């Protein structure tokens, strides 16, 4: 939030105030001069649990928060992007991997971070011509396929990554019956 | 987007430029003086298809876009809010209604509007003590229960409202088997 640091549309600096606009129910940063409302809303995280040859692909984060810890390819959905395209883009960026997306594995709500996460099941696509199946993207320190019984459980970056790995196990064991939500 | 109309953290006006920050893959508005990145991301719409006594609750919009057209109670998810709480809040605001939320009916992606919509099944809760089951909220001109064969089909506000009413009919006919996505 950059409240108080804007110029408004009439070029008068620092005219933002926190108030409930007419007809609204929440406080917003509103420019007292021009009426512009600076809405702030939760963000959508898109990502995937990527399988290959009975293993699962994880990336060790090169960036904060949780640099050095393991996660799945995931990140913020971009403007004008579908969640499926966003999940594929994140795997390209973080693991230099092409995905075949499957079902929506889970929808997690993380209200204290103002996030909703849409997590897909996926498999690695073979790019052919002897090219590598995956690599280390700019936001990753390492990218690796893990056996399901050798996951880096103590070095997982975020609680939702534990959730989605557990939910993927459930699907592998019992079949897919619709997306999971936050565990109880 | 208010690019070019901000003061940056060093109070230098109009220093935003559109560029790809280091390590990023998308153009952003970046302050050339302080490095602040003004990320813009898609928004989450939460809403519900509300049933009562074999009918469905619709609201006639009092605000643009599509003032005067019919929709379900729905709106933007707020910071630190779960999608379920957001769907209930929208029904309170637009239809003065208390909901019992059911399954997640559908997840729609509307990339040209940079929206992801999370739509729930719901029933009206009786507030008891002779109080009205619903009313007309500030953003509504009318709120009404419609028979399923007397929907105001020609006066529906948005394509996704047609989709969700159709998907609710499918669930009523065949049972719930997981959330729907955009129709093909």
B132 φψ region: left (φ > 0), alpha (ψ -120 to 50), beta (else): beta
User: What integer is the mean pLDDT of B134-154?
Assistant: 97
Q: A30: which strand partners?
A: A17, A37
Q: Is A138 on the interface with B (CB under 8 A)?
A: yes
Q: pLDDT tens-digit profile of A99-144?
A: 999 999 999 999 999 999 999 999 999 999 999 999 999 999 999 9
Asked if B77 lies within 8 A of A116 by C-beta distance, the reply is yes
ipTM of the complex model: 0.88
Q: Are A107 and B111 a contacting pair at CB < 8 A? A: no
Closest CA to B106 of B122, B89, B125, B85: B122
Q: Is the pLDDT of residue B4 over 50?
A: no
Cα B50 from Cα B90, distance rounded (Å): 12
A70-71 and A115-124 strand pairing: unpaired
A43-174 CATH fold: Nucleoside Triphosphate Pyrophosphohydrolase (3.90.79)
For B135, the 3-state DSSP assignment is coil
What pLDDT was estimated at residue B31?
Answer: 75
Phi, psi values for residue B72, rounded to 5°: -95, 165
Architecture of domain B1-40: Single Sheet (2.20)
Q: How many CB atoms lie within 10 A of CB B53?
A: 9
- Asked if the model's pLDDT at residue A61 lies above 90, the reply is yes
Cβ atoms within 10 Å of B71's Cβ, excluding its own: 21
Q: What is the mean pLDDT of chain B?
A: 91
Lowest mean pLDDT among A103-107, B125-129, B146-150: B125-129
Read off the pLDDT band of B3 (50, 70, 90).
very low
In whole angstroms, what is the distance from residue A50 CA to residue A123 CA? 5
Q: What pLDDT is attached to residue A4?
A: 41
Average pLDDT over residues B144-167: 98
Checking phi first, is residue A22 left (phi over 0); if not, alpha (psi -120 to 50) or beta? beta
Tell whether B92 lies on the interface with A, counting CB pairs under 8 A.
Answer: no
The domain locations on chain A are: 1-40, 43-174
With a cut of 70, say whether residue B10 has pLDDT above it.
no
User: Model confidence at B15, in pLDDT bands (50, 70, 90)?
Assistant: low
Burial A66-77 (b: 16+ CB within 10 A, else e): eeebbbbbbbbb
| A-to-B residue pairs, Cβ atoms closer than 8 angstroms | 114
Find which of B42, B120, B141 to mutate to test the A interface (most A CBs within 10 Å of its CB).
B42
Task: Using the structure block, give the residue that is written with the tokens 């199946």.
Answer: A133
pLDDT at position B179, please? 97
Instruction: State the CB neighbour count (10 A cutoff) for residue A132.
Output: 8
Q: Model confidence over A141-167: pLDDT tens digits?
A: 999 999 999 999 999 999 999 999 999
Instruction: Specify the pairing of strand A43-52 against strand A55-61.
Output: antiparallel
- Assess contact for A27 and A49: CB atoms under 8 A: no
pLDDT of residue B144: 98
Q: Identify which of B14, B80, B107 has the shortest CB distance to residue A111.
A: B80
Taking the C-alpha atoms of residue B53 and residue B145, their distance in angstroms, rounded to an integer, is: 9
Query: B15 to chain A, minimum CA–CA distance in Å?
Result: 11
Window from A65-69, A141-145, B17-21 with minimum mean pLDDT:
B17-21
With an 8 Å Cβ cutoff, are B5 and A2 in contact?
no
- Out of B26, B63, B179, name the one closest to residue A179 (CB): B179
Query: What pLDDT was estimated at residue B22?
Result: 81
Look at residues B109, B134, B44, B24 and name the one whose alpha carbon lies nearest to residue A42. Answer: B44
């Amino acid at each position: 939030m950059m409240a108080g640091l804007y110029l408004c549309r009439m070029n008068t600096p620092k005219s933002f105030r926190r108030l409930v606009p007419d007809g609204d129910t929440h406080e917003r940063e509103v420019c007292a001069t021009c009426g512009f409302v600076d809405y702030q809303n939760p963000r959508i995280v898109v990502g995937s649990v990527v399988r290959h040859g009975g293993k699962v692909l994880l990336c060790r984060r090169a960036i904060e928060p949780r640099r050095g810890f393991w996660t799945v390819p995931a990140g913020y959905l971009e403007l004008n992007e579908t969640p499926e395209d966003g999940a594929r883009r994140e795997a390209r960026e973080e693991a230099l991997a092409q995905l075949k997306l499957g079902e929506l594995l889970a929808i997690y709500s993380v209200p204290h971070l103002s996030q909703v996460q849409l997590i897909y099941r996926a498999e690695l696509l073979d790019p052919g011509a002897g090219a590598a199946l995956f690599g280390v993207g700019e936001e990753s320190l390492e990218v690796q396929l893990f056996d399901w019984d050798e996951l880096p459980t103590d070095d997982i970056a975020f609680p939702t990554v534990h959730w989605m790995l557990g939910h993927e196990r459930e699907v592998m064991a019992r079949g897919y019956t619709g997306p999971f939500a936050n565990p109880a």
